[in-house]
Structure 1
């Protein structure tokens, strides 16, 4: 794992703080897990209910130990409460690529601008500290809220992987939409556009 990604990695501005996810964060996220199970409607890895949340965090921490993922917990400074989680994954430092996803927030934090602050900090860190050349985003092609959020921060649609992966709890398979931001796009325009909307 890159030296810049460590247990000391904290990204923050006046609105949000992202710090490395820990096993003890089960307690900080349990409220969403119990009261807002629809949060994981489009996810193959469910975090609804305490046991599923524990597994969700354990899987994320194991992937961090393997160097392929780096999960964060999101703290909303305005309310003084934990708001959700996000992470870098499929990290390939040799190719200078990674994916940004597994992002979810409690209902009260959606549509508040919190996501834009998180994405700004994460993209700035990926491109300007880690030296990443391409950040990829994926979503279920039916997940309109996530797709709209990705487009709103400057992601460009690359295409759709048809029949890409199974969906949880059914025999149906999902189409996955692929979006991305390139380093030159970030530096030339996306960064300033996103910054102006914070």
Structure 2
């Protein structure tokens, strides 16, 4: 992969901020996905907490309030939800990566440049654990939040997490040696591929990866 000859913008990942719309329950994951046909299934009338708590990890450029609709929908299904506290301006912290020589080599590592995000995730996970009262919890990672969840699982104690649901997350780095293809993560996805557990379904940690298009209505 050829490095950019001129100064590049702060480290970015993939996918733009997204607003969630009409949704339905997905498989056994107690989460939701957007519908493209404009229809949606009705949530159950019983709003008591019957599922393990979920922690939502915002994607690049998103903030906590972008996930209010998703939080309300999950609540209707009895899923207590905590969103990692992230604001749009927080993402400017990624500019610290410009001072790391690995950024220019395309071999950037998640830490320390993304320690601020991982800390917010850890705080949300601890809050969800209190809601779980000893039960397991789920992670719902949107866009970059999905592969950052994999970094979190690798770097932090995660025995209480039994599900990772990712929404539109790129789990593999872009192909190398292809004209016009630039790794916007500057090597972060290479790091995830090499050093983090694979995003595959296991009895201990179930993965559900959702990718596709949606229509805003």
Give the TM-score taking structure 2 as reference length: 0.30
Give the TM-score taking structure 1 as reference length: 0.32
The structure carrying a bigger helix percent of its residues is 1
The structure carrying a bigger strand percent of its residues is 1
Instruction: Kindly indicate whether structure 1 or structure 2 has the higher relative contact order, using CA contacts under 8 Å at least 6 residues apart.
Output: 2
